[in-house]
Chain A
Amino acid sequence: MLRCRLRMNPVSTTVRRPRLTPPVPVSAFPYNPGSLLSVLDLSVESVSRILGRATELEREDPQVRSRILAKRRIALLFYESSTRTRTSFELAAKGLGADTTLVSSLSSSIEKGESLKDTGLTLRALGAETIILRHNSSGAAWLLEAETRLPVLNAGDGMHEHPTQALLDLRTLLAHLRPGVETVTADTLAGVTLTIVGDILHSRVARSNMLLLPRLGARVLLCGPKELLPELAAQAGPGVFVERDFEAALRQSQAVMMLRIQAERLAGLQLDLNDYKASYQLSGQRLAAHAPTAVVLHPGPIIRGLEVTAGVADGAQSAILEQVHNGVAIRMAVVERALKATENGGRA
């Protein structure tokens, strides 16, 4: 009946290749020079400058230090709970003399449906000169910066990045593997292998580290089950590899970073935790047998007895509390850069 009128094109078997491909995307973004949204925003020289400045600020007389950003206004905007990151950003800002205010999603108009854009514009109108943002959506920091044009410090965006964590991890690694080294170059970590283990898929800490450390010469091995570590993670950047055998990875590593399984981001994924522990838990026995001198890192929070045993977390190879301690110095340098870079009219 009716469908007979439908004329279909003959399908030829030869395919002509296009002569040109359409334009590639423009990736340039008008960052505020003080912003730190991704570790990819930082040149190796900038990383080196932040590390050096962190040390200077840490050693500085607290009275002198507290005049650096005296009475400057910094807003902490937190859409997710946080202990380490929030507290250390707050201590860092206050240590430089700034006034801080905390807005968290559970005690603000965000609960009433105010958008990120409007929240950001409100904070700017209240005089905030920098916003430190923790958000559960990947990319939220770019949106906030685009809408407010303020320096924005990304304190973790969804599953994407956590650049200050990677910087404090770098500072911790240097203290153990390159003691006395104050500045970094493209080969400072040459010969160093770091294995990141566990829930890579949902980890912003893993992404920031795998994008930062290879630029200083390190090799990053990613280790975990397929559900938490897709094969395409190896395409994240140069110097990044997938090694599913935890013990084989440990034997190559000078440092190992354990990650928590992010139950809040699993989205229905079912994991057998006993199987997981059998393959990927860092136990004292495993560490002693395969990486007896490696430094053990963990961005926290730790679930003792799951990804690491209590003995390893508290053991001699653990640098977990040093990481927390380094957070304050790194964040002082990053907060200072946020406000001073703008004044200097260029990127610090």
Chain B
Amino acid sequence: MMDLVIRGGHLLDPAAGVDGMKDILLKDGRVAEIASPGKLRHGEGAQSLDATGLTVTPGLIDMHVHLREPGQAYKETIATGTAAAAAGGFTSVAAMPNTSPVNDSTETTRWMQAPERGAAIRVFPIAAATRGSKGESINDYAALRAAGAVAVSDDGLPILKDNVMREVLAAAARAGLTVIQHAEDTRLTQGASMNLGPMSFKLGLRGMPPEAESGLVERDIRLVTELRDTPAHLHVAHTSTAAALAAVRQARRSGLRVTCEVAPHHFLLTDEHVGLYNTHAKMCPPLRSAADRDAMIEGILDGVVDAIATDHAPHATHEKEVEFEHAPNGITGLDTALGLSLYWFHKEWRLPLGRVLSLLSAQPAALLGLKGRGTLAVGSFADVLVFDPKAEWTYRATDTKSKSRNTPFDGWAMLGKVRWTISEGRIAFGAAAD
């Protein structure tokens, strides 16, 4: 691997407290040296990247993606999903286990990380919390962690039984893993395909009440409270309702280890965006009311939200060209997360650039315990995003490197253009120079 020197850029590394003009040397997959412009002591013979006018920051980390392998390669493969991720500025993704078969074994966990998969960036498997994600019997977390799993979750399916969820939290705590819960009380969402509200009534679609999410989050928080003498850590996936976020906020004030993520579609869109049965506005949890959407924005601004995660969920075109209630849940997100987050949170709502980037890098790294990532301190992994924070552009779904194009953000304005994405010292994505 060739050494890389990134010269002339503005280094913004919130976790390390660096915000200034720096040159940076990447060697053997690690950050080797950081110095004022022109002052690097090493790096002769290294490939040089000119980052003049650009921002250099830790590579982004998406803690919630669906890469569809094994089993559903027609939607996405680990190679195509990570190529899309690299183009979107990501250097690490955490892949949910709702594959076919479900990733509930060390074999599948290792298979997903094998070089043969052709990943452009680092893939961290999230293993199933229960066998087959059936919510009944608990997997061997120590073995899964040893095989590379960074968290456990039955994402897409909630763990409904109190005794099973309690044991999942306790066992994961013993193994040093975070439990990520897809909070949906499916007893309240049978046959439903969007948020319950005036819009679902008008469209004649069965609705999912907000309580289906918040009720389960509250139940999970009660279980964490019972386990407060252990290191149990509950992370609420794709939070979408004001009530669930309020429960997380309350838990945090009580000092519990409860964290949460929000997806860009939940801080930007509402159930009105379903429009006339747009299946690209169908996901689970669904787009909610304007009050819920506003609560997600406030949660990110006030810091109770720990991470922005995409819930990247590719589906083939023919799967979305069906009756709304029969369409699968989910939209892609890796292409648009950075551009949307910067456009709205930084440009429109004035959240400092470093705060936005932390939500997409340092904070998810901490949540998943990814050592040496989410920062560019010397010795860290050479996971680097070099981007133009001032460039505005328009997203076109046809330009994606993902296999799928199921996004509601086609044609939306983006802020921040990726120039290079470097994964452990290798250039995983390089935009054509203008």
Contact = CB atoms under 8 A, between A and B. Distances in A.
A116 interface: yes
Nearest to A144: B323
Contact of B323 (A29, A137, A236): A137
Interface in A1-22: 1-12, 14-22
A5 B276 CA distance: 47
A143 B277 contact: yes
Interface of A: 1-12, 14-27, 29, 115-117, 135, 137-140, 142-143, 147, 157-161, 201, 204, 207, 230, 232-233, 235-236, 267-268
Given A139-B324, A232-B198, 7 more contacts: A18-B349, A27-B276, A143-B322, A158-B325, A159-B204, A160-B203, A232-B201
B348 A20 contact: yes
A222 to B, nearest CB: 11
A267 B201 contact: no
19 contacts: A2-B176, A3-B176, A3-B257, A6-B257, A8-B252, A9-B363, A11-B253, A15-B302, A19-B348, A19-B350, A21-B290, A21-B294, A26-B275, A29-B275, A115-B321, A139-B325, A157-B204, A158-B325, A235-B201
Nearest to A237: B202
- Chain B CB count within 10 A is highest, among A17, A18, A142, A235, for A18
B205 A159 contact: yes
Contacts of A204: 204
Contacts of B249: 11
A18 to B, nearest CB: 5
Contact of B203 (A5, A25, A138, A143): A138
A112 to B, nearest CB: 16
B289 to A, nearest CB: 11
- Chain B CB count within 10 A is highest, among A1, A135, A139, for A139
Interface residues of B, number: 52
A157 B277 CA distance: 12
A143 B323 contact: yes
Contacts of A267: 190-191, 206
Contacts of A7: 366
A62 to B, nearest CB: 37
Contacts of A160: 203-205
A207 B200 CA distance: 12
B71 interface: no
A1 B249 CA distance: 24
Given A2-B176, A9-B304, A233 B272 contact: no
A12 B324 CA distance: 40
A25 B204 CA distance: 19
A347 to B, nearest CB: 17
A15 B253 CA distance: 15
Nearest to B363: A9
A138 B348 contact: no
Nearest to B368: A6
Given A116-B322, A137-B323, A143-B277, A22 B302 contact: no
Interface string B246-268: 00010011000101000000001
Contacts of B206: 267
Contact of B321 (A18, A26, A117, A140): A117
Contact of B272 (A18, A25, A201): A25
B197 interface: yes
B269 interface: yes
A29 B204 CA distance: 19
B273 interface: yes
Nearest to A235: B198
Contacts of B201: 201, 230, 232-233, 235-236
A331 to B, nearest CB: 21
B369 interface: yes
Interface in B15-52: none
Interface in B89-108: none
B271 to A, nearest CB: 10
- Chain A CB count within 10 A is highest, among B176, B323, B349, for B323
B302 A16 contact: yes
B297 interface: yes
B306 A8 contact: yes
A139 B201 CA distance: 13
B272 A24 contact: yes
A204 B202 CA distance: 10
B157 interface: no
A117 B204 contact: no
Nearest to A268: B190
Contact of B301 (A16, A20, A158): A16
Given A8-B259, A14-B302, A139 B366 contact: no
A5 B369 contact: yes
Contacts of B306: 8-9
- Chain B CB count within 10 A is highest, among A6, A147, A232, for A6
B233 interface: yes
A232 B197 contact: yes
Contact of A138 (B275, B277, B293, B301): B277
Contacts of A232: 197-198, 201
Contacts of A161: 204
Interface string B322-355: 1111100000000000000000100011100000
Interface in B169-194: 173, 176, 190-191
A10 B322 contact: no
B215 interface: no
A114 to B, nearest CB: 12
A293 to B, nearest CB: 32
B198 A236 contact: yes
B294 A18 contact: yes
